[in-house]
Structure 1
Amino acid sequence: MGKTTTAGYIQLGVAQYAGALNETWWDRDLSIGGRVIVRDESGKTTSKLVKLDWPIARIPTLAPHFGVGMMGQNNKETQAVPIIGLDDPTSSAAGPLGPVGSFVSTQPPKLIVNWELELFDLQPATVGGMDKEFIFAGRIDDKLCSWAAFHGLLASDQKDDDGTIKMVALFDDEEIGSLLRQGAKGNFLPSVIERTVESLCGQEKTFGPGVIGQTYANSFLLSADVTHAVNPNFLSRYLQDHAPRLNVGICICADSNGHMTTDSVSTAILTRVCELSGCTPQVFQIRNDSRSGGTVGPSISSALGVRAADAGMPQLSMHSIRATCGSLDPGLGVKFFKAF
């Protein structure tokens, strides 16, 4: 990330992450946040989270009078660069980045060692629709399933003699292949499971590969990622009876080419969960002439050898800077994950 000046504008050098719909980022109020590595006067280096509370950046579009197409025809390197200010040719002193009292204003620039910062849409989430049946928000993918799974875990019953371990694992970098330390293809999840099983073995059972193998064989993985709600303007792009609706319930996802880990056995298990808990299951498989997205399900299930299925809550405008789900969907997700 660098800063340049062009035609009097101060611009911010950025790099895109994964397969975003970049055009939806234009003309939006963009703020910035993330992690910075700082070193204090004593020489101690620490990591701090930062977030500006005002829009610092904007990617301006070009009016149609110029005859330049703006939808999918722009160079991502040179024509989608955010502006963050105007240069002042009469001043050589740089002012503070943030207001009085903010973290960034208290940090001398020479003590900031490095940073990982991202632009984000500052507009808050809101409910919408005639009866407020929608949620319009950024970053629904995949905070929707993450939030629902976590609260479903907190709400679930647990008895001392259940003999089960209930877990929710949240991963980063799924959109770019998951092959990083914090990604689903790393060893974080199996390591946590193995350490947990080892701590529960005690004196009665010797911990080893056999115990871990039995644990995985007796386990079930639910790979939860948002899926495609039916878009009424593009109905022909969906298979018949594979058009998930908002505010209905969990959607079981399948793919014949292994982009999902669902099979007939795991589908029957999830369907039974819905029957016992009063949840309404939906199903989704993409058409043969479309490209299916992937999830962490195949990676984790193949690495651990556990039975598994893919299922998630539906949303509109996937990969856009601002998406839509049903206002009931977070609660319906909690209901399903609790039952699971």
Structure 2
Amino acid sequence: MPTPTSLELDVDGHAADLCAFIDASPTPFHAVQEAARRLTDAGFTELAERDAWPREPGRYFVRREGTIAAWSTAAAAGASTGPATGFRVLGGHTDSPNLRIKPNADVRTLGWDQLGVEVYGGPLITTWLDRDLGLAGRVAVRDADEPTGVRMCLVQVSEPLLRVAHLAIHLDRSIADEGVRLNPQQHLAPIWGATGGAPTLAEYLAGLLDVEPNDVLAHDLMMFDLTPSGRLGHARDLIAAPRLDNQATCYAGVRALIDADTAMAGGGSHIPLLVLFDHEEIGSMTNRGGFSEFLPGLLERVVLTQGGDREDLHRALADSLVCSADMAHATHPNYTERHEPSHRIAVNAGPVLKVNVKGRYASDAPGAAAFALACEQAGVPLQRFVVRSDMPCGSTIGPMTAALTGVVTVDVGAPMLSMHSARELCGVADPAMYVAALTAMLAPAAV
């Protein structure tokens, strides 16, 4: 497999660590918890949005439900620009397409115990059929000891609990010629028993959390594939896992921020900052999505904690760069006609720069050049992706972040197949190269 020539990368270590991160993160809330754990272990301190933030240089992070941001002002504390020091921002998202549980979820049909679900984002629905599925998310329970009267609890049932059963081909012969046609209201309710007398979901959750059923006030629950992440292929040169889009970036971003902060210990010219948003897969227009005020407000607060003002904020933004990192499409060997022939993308061949002249990606020449230099600094190869001219293009948090902040933005990713499937595929060398390139982007070498 292609490997960097100027840098020895721990390919096996990063592959195993990525799998561990994904398996610990069945939901955005768990991904934020896992990222927070790793940041804390690396010496970062958690702040609360409602508190006054310290003015001392340091390493910090803050959460907003399924969104997390972390930054370090330690290395750049002595920068000549003072509170107008620019940022190097790495952005991604914690959510993935899946099936989520409805508020009134209990369904009983002909003696089958089922749960009602909604489709979240744009999953490849057929890949969710006939899989052993777990249940995870967060539950709001009544708690008089909490200031709000509510306690939020993470739950994760990592055992075969649910299954969306496929219709036998004998009962619909058209499947062979026309493919599977699924009505999300009728055909996606998972089965979780055949007793006809299952507990209500509230009763089941109450049992997990050791509370009374009427104390279960609300929930954000989703199903997840139980097959562990792992390597495959005759040379074990591939990784099969759920939620590579975009938890591969969550993993790489956390590692890159920690590594960049270490690399900048002798002094840095920019403030490295990581932000991982929730709700990218449904348009980002929520209190914690990429269209929210979370990042602009965060950048302002960081400048203020350094003794700056609005003038310093605008000066800092003018000297900043945003790298929107999301997974990228590798060229599929069975569907080569779906790809731009002059921009073939391979796994195990380096990070991907994504370009679209309609603005679906935010990359332009300044940002593209900055990421190319980062890949050179990291000693990893760079690939360039463009969608076919006769096909529509997906998008990322990049364009909205560029519009909200006015900062030069570049869209990048790591190559993969089966995007939005319940099980996705990437190269085993790609996580290590992705981390190396993003680290260099956050901690650019002096020119």
Same fold (TM over 0.5): yes
CA RMSD of aligned residues (A): 2.2
The partner residue of 2:215 within 97, 111, 117 is 111
Deviation string 1:152-181 (CA, Å, 9 cap, x unpaired) is 111121246424210010001111111101
In our comparison, the structure showing a higher alpha carbon Rg is 1
Contact 1:152 1:337 in 2 (8 A): yes
How far residue 336 of structure 1 moved from its aligned partner, in angstroms, is: 0.6
Deviation string 1:127-160 (CA, Å, 9 cap, x unpaired) is 1001110110101100111211210111121246
2:116: which partner in 1?
Answer: 13
For 1:18 and 1:277, how far apart are their aligned partners in 2?
A: 34
Residue pairs, 1:151-230, within 5 angstroms: 151-156=255-260, 157-159=263-265, 161-201=267-307, 207-230=308-331
The partner residue of 1:54 within 134, 159, 171 is 159
How far residue 105 of structure 1 moved from its aligned partner, in angstroms, is: 5.5
- The structure with the largest strand share of the pair is 2
Q: Could you list the runs of 5+ residues in structure 2 that have no partner in the other structure? A: 1-101, 442-447
Helix, strand or coil at the partner of 1:97: helix
Q: 1:261 to 1:41 in 2, by over 3 A?
A: closer
Contact 2:115 2:190 in 1 (8 A): yes
Helix, strand or coil at the partner of 2:433: helix
The partner residue of 2:240 within 129, 136, 142 is 136
Higher RCO, Cα 8 Å, sep 6+ = 2
Deviation string 1:278-314 (CA, Å, 9 cap, x unpaired) is 1100010110222210100010011111111100101
User: Which runs of structure 1 show a deviation greater than 3 angstroms over 4 or more consecutive aligned residues?
Assistant: 40-44, 68-72, 91-98
For 2:234 and 2:127, how far apart are their aligned partners in 1?
A: 24
Give the TM-score taking structure 1 as reference length. 0.92
The reply to whether residue 254 of structure 1 matches residue 355 of structure 2 is yes
For 1:42 and 1:263, how far apart are their aligned partners in 2?
A: 52
Contact 1:26 1:61 in 2 (8 A): yes
Whichever residue aligns with residue 231 of structure 2, its letter is V
For 2:181 and 2:250, how far apart are their aligned partners in 1?
A: 34
1:78: which partner in 2?
Answer: 186
Whichever residue aligns with residue 5 of structure 1, its letter is R
For 2:233 and 2:315, how far apart are their aligned partners in 1?
A: 49
1:204: which partner in 2?
Answer: none
Deviation string 1:230-275 (CA, Å, 9 cap, x unpaired) is 1100011111231211111110000111100001222122112222
Number of residues of Structure 1 aligned to a counterpart in Structure 2:
331
Give the TM-score taking structure 2 as reference length. 0.70
Contact 1:36 1:114 in 2 (8 A): yes
Whichever residue aligns with residue 194 of structure 1, its letter is E
Q: 1:56 to 1:92 in 2, by over 3 A?
A: closer
The partner residue of 1:145 within 236, 249, 253 is 249
For 1:95 and 1:282, how far apart are their aligned partners in 2?
A: 49
Q: Could you list the runs of 5+ residues in structure 1 that have no partner in the other structure? A: 202-206
Contact 2:117 2:188 in 1 (8 A): no
Helix, strand or coil at the partner of 1:166: strand
1:318: which partner in 2?
Answer: 419
